[in-house]
């Protein structure tokens, strides 16, 4: 019964969103091609804003101290970082945290650790760039993403993040395999 209620609520919400979406796209008028273009732009903007809002919510949820790999880090400085998504760039205010007990110790960004952001790229973009970097020249990747109505960051950002993302993902996967249950990561 609980699953049936949850499924009904989800379907009702999706139906409501689709109806609203259709009415917004219909206002653009024009041909199907024009409306499809408007729908894709609107969908990208909705997802871009959702990413920005969700990351901001997460960034504001940390206390004054966090624990990572058994170490305690204290809030150090507030700053705004531009992150890149498949739907465009977003600006998120987030804090850095400094290792407690070590003068000028290393800093971390818990938001990036929690969400899997690597080189300012969200996980979906990082995976997409990594796949593109492994399979073809990045100019071809850019053309494919443009044809798919995606807003990827500049080529220099992709070149910087692609190879590094592969190294980080590979080291993370190796680390995951060597960490035993109950052991701090």
3-state SS, residue 179 = coil
How would you class 183 by CB atoms within 10 Å of its CB: exposed for 0-12, middle for 13-18, buried for 19 or more? Answer: exposed
CA dist 79 and 15 (Å) reads: 39
Q: pLDDT for 113-147, tens place per residue?
A: 999 998 898 999 888 888 877 777 777 777 787 87
pLDDT band at 53 (very low <50, low <70, confident <90, very high): very high
Q: How many CA atoms are closer than 13 Å to the CA of 128, on its beta-carbon side? A: 21
- Eight-class DSSP state of 180: P
pLDDT band at 97 (very low <50, low <70, confident <90, very high): very high
pTM above 0.85, yes or no: no
């Amino acid at each position: 019964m609980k699953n049936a209620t949850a499924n009904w609520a989800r379907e009702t919400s999706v139906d409501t969103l689709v109806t609203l979406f259709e009415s917004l796209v219909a206002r653009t008028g024009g041909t199907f091609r024009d409306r499809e273009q408007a729908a894709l732009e609107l969908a990208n903007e909705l997802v871009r804003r959702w990413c920005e809002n969700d990351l901001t919510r997460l960034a504001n949820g940390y206390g004054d101290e966090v624990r990572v790999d058994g170490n305690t880090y204290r809030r150090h400085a507030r700053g705004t970082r531009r992150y890149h998504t498949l739907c465009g760039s977003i600006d998120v205010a987030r804090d850095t945290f400094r290792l407690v007990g070590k003068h000028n110790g290393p800093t971390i960004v818990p938001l990036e650790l929690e969400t899997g952001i690597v080189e300012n790229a969200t996980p979906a973009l990082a995976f997409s760039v990594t796949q593109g970097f492994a399979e073809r020249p990045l100019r071809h990747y850019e053309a494919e993403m443009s044809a798919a109505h995606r807003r990827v960051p500049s080529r220099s950002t992709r070149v910087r993040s692609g190879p590094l993302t592969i190294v980080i993902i590979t080291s993370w996967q190796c680390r995951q395999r060597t960490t035993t249950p109950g052991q701090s990561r």
